[in-house]
């Protein structure tokens, strides 16, 4: 696989990470309740700790997978690209089911998580009082979404390892991948600080729902096909 193909797959993976909606949804709830109870300064500070928690969670998962895949990368058992076929199959399967199960039926933006978990996130968002509470909520907010994001982490790690032997290049690419997760949160944070409320933002989210549904589905499938064509651990 050429460097350009690996870079293309990495970019597509980053786009999916940026479009996943669970963490932004929890962040919106948290911000909405906080702005209604606390000063703008306190809410803004707590929001930054939420973002830091989400970033820490993303970085931790990425690092653990990087260490695990680094060992598999040189293992003889995987020279036949067996893992590549598995990952490609998972990506294509996610692409097929994503339009039907990521969003719940209806006009809103309710996601695939159980209603019990959704109520728990809503309750925790209401009860945030300290920056440490906000950090923990940010940290755990994306964990239920790992069924959709974990294969993306794996693909990103594998492609970063293939792009070059330079530790510096790999570090920069890894940092870019980890940071892409919080860009939507930063955009929402800026919007809320500039007077946009939950209703304004929710209207935009509803209008973008179909685009996110089908673009993300297509991107999963494209990544799976590229892995089949060009290989996963092939050097």
Q: Among candidates 217, 233, 14, 37, which has minimal Cα distance to 125?
A: 37
Nearest CA to 29 out of 101, 102, 117 is that of 117
Place of tokens 């892995």: 227
* 90 contacts 151 by C-beta, under 8 angstroms: yes
DSSP state of 108: S
Q: Which residues are bridge partners to 103 per DSSP? A: 111
The upper half-sphere exposure of residue 67, i.e. CA atoms within 13 Å in the direction of its Cβ, equals: 5
pLDDT at 73: 62
Q: Which residues of 101-131 are buried (b: 16+ CB within 10 A; e: fewer)?
A: ebbeeeeebebbeeeeebeebeebbeebeeb
Question: Would you give per-residue pLDDT tens digits along the chain (235 residues)?
Answer: 578 888 999 999 999 999 999 999 999 999 988 888 878 888 888 999 999 999 999 999 999 999 988 877 655 544 446 778 889 999 999 999 999 999 998 888 999 999 999 999 999 999 998 999 999 999 999 999 999 999 999 999 989 988 867 888 899 999 999 999 999 999 999 988 887 888 888 888 999 999 999 999 999 999 999 998 887 655 4
SS (H, E, C) 132-201: HHHHHHHHHCCHHHHHHHHHHHHHHHHHHHHHCCCHHHHHHHHHHHHHHCCHHHHHHHHHHHCCCCHHHH
Beta-carbon-side half-sphere exposure of residue 96 (alpha carbons within 13 Å)? 8
Instruction: Specify the pLDDT at position 23.
Output: 95
């Amino acid at each position: 696989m050429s460097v350009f193909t690996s870079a293309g797959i990495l970019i597509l993976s980053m786009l999916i990470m940026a479009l996943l909606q669970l963490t932004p949804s929890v962040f919106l709830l948290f911000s909405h309740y906080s702005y209604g109870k606390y000063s703008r300064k306190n809410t803004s500070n707590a929001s930054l700790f939420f973002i830091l928690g989400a970033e820490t969670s993303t970085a931790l998962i990425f690092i653990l997978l990087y260490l695990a895949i680094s060992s598999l990368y040189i293992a003889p058992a995987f020279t036949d690209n067996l893992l590549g076929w598995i990952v490609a199959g998972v990506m294509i399967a996610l692409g097929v089911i994503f339009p039907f199960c990521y969003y719940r039926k209806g006009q809103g933006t309710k996601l695939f998580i159980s209603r019990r978990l959704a109520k728990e996130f809503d309750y925790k968002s209401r009860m945030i009082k300290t920056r440490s509470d906000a950090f923990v909520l940010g940290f755990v907010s994306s964990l239920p979404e790992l069924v959709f994001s974990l294969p993306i982490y794996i693909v990103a790690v594998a492609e970063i390892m293939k792009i070059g032997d330079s530790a510096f290049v790999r570090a920069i690419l890894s940092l870019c991948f980890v940071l892409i997760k919080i860009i939507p949160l930063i955009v929402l944070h800026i919007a809320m600080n500039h007077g946009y409320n939950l209703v304004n933002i929710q209207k935009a989210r509803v209008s973008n729902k179909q685009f996110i549904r089908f673009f993300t589905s297509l991107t999963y499938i494209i990544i799976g096909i590229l892995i089949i064509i060009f290989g996963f651990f092939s050097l």
